[in-house]
């Protein structure tokens, strides 16, 4: 009988139940610096959100990056947001296709690409005064967890 190769076996928890081997992906806890590096190397582009909690609350909308970012902006004091954002904001509703209106803060923002959105999420969670937890599944199957507690 020939054996078989399982690459990156250290990324799995292995158990044997009823004479069957079960491989369950490990969730690796990572820092914001590690996420910044993944974003800079474009390694997050095909990731999916497994779950996300903001101030302990889960919401089906938190499975979409733009919705998470909007919630973070809503929770971030306006002065901190405007001094530290990588997005372009204008006060009030902007009547054109370049801007999206965020009613909760009465401001419009110019949309950006996925990497910018993820970069902004990580940056604002570091500055904000709220609890944040997110688990990603990368394209290669690895699962990463990032959290920031106030």
Q: What is the 3-state secondary structure (H, E, C) of 72-95?
A: HHHHCCHHHHHHHCCCCEEECCCC
The domain tally of the chain equals: 1
Q: What region, left, alpha or beta, does residue 80 occupy, with left being phi > 0 and alpha being psi -120 to 50 degrees? A: alpha
Who has greater pLDDT, 33 or 26? 33
* Cα separation, 71 vs 44, whole angstroms: 21
Domain of residue 124 covers 27-148
* Cα separation, 21 vs 64, whole angstroms: 33
Kindly state whether residue 120 falls inside one of the protein's structural domains: yes
Kindly state whether residue 7 falls inside one of the protein's structural domains: no
3-state helix, strand, coil in the chain (%, to 5): 35, 30, 35
State yes or no: pLDDT of 38 exceeds 80. Answer: yes
DSSP 106: T
Kindly state whether residue 109 falls inside one of the protein's structural domains: yes
Token duo for residue 42: 């474009």
Tell me which of 7-11, 24-28, 35-39, 86-90 is least confident: 7-11
Kindly state whether residue 19 falls inside one of the protein's structural domains: no
Q: Work out the pLDDT band at 31, boundaries 50, 70, 90.
A: very high
pLDDT recorded at residue 67: 94
First to last CA, the chain: 55
State yes or no: pLDDT of 71 exceeds 90. Answer: yes
* Cα separation, 111 vs 95, whole angstroms: 14
Average pLDDT, the chain: 92
Strand, helix or coil at 146?
strand
State yes or no: pLDDT of 126 exceeds 80. Answer: yes
Kindly state whether residue 15 falls inside one of the protein's structural domains: no
Kindly state whether residue 135 falls inside one of the protein's structural domains: yes
Kindly state whether residue 16 falls inside one of the protein's structural domains: no
Who has greater pLDDT, 24 or 65? 65
Kindly state whether residue 68 falls inside one of the protein's structural domains: yes
């Amino acid at each position: 009988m020939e054996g078989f190769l399982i690459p990156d076996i250290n990324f799995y928890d292995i158990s044997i139940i009823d004479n069957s081997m079960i491989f369950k992906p490990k969730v690796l806890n990572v820092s914001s610096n590690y996420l910044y590096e993944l974003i800079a190397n474009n390694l997050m582009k095909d990731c999916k959100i497994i779950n996300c909690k903001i101030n302990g609350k889960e919401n089906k909308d938190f499975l979409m990056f733009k919705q998470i970012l909007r919630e973070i902006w809503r929770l971030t004091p306006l002065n901190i947001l405007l001094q530290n954002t990588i997005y372009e904001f204008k006060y009030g509703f902007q009547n054109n296709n370049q801007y999206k209106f965020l009613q909760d803060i009465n401001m419009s923002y110019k949309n950006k690409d996925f990497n910018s959105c993820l970069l902004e999420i990580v940056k604002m969670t570091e500055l904000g005064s709220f609890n944040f937890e997110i688990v990603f599944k990368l394209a290669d199957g690895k699962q990463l967890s990032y959290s920031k507690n106030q």
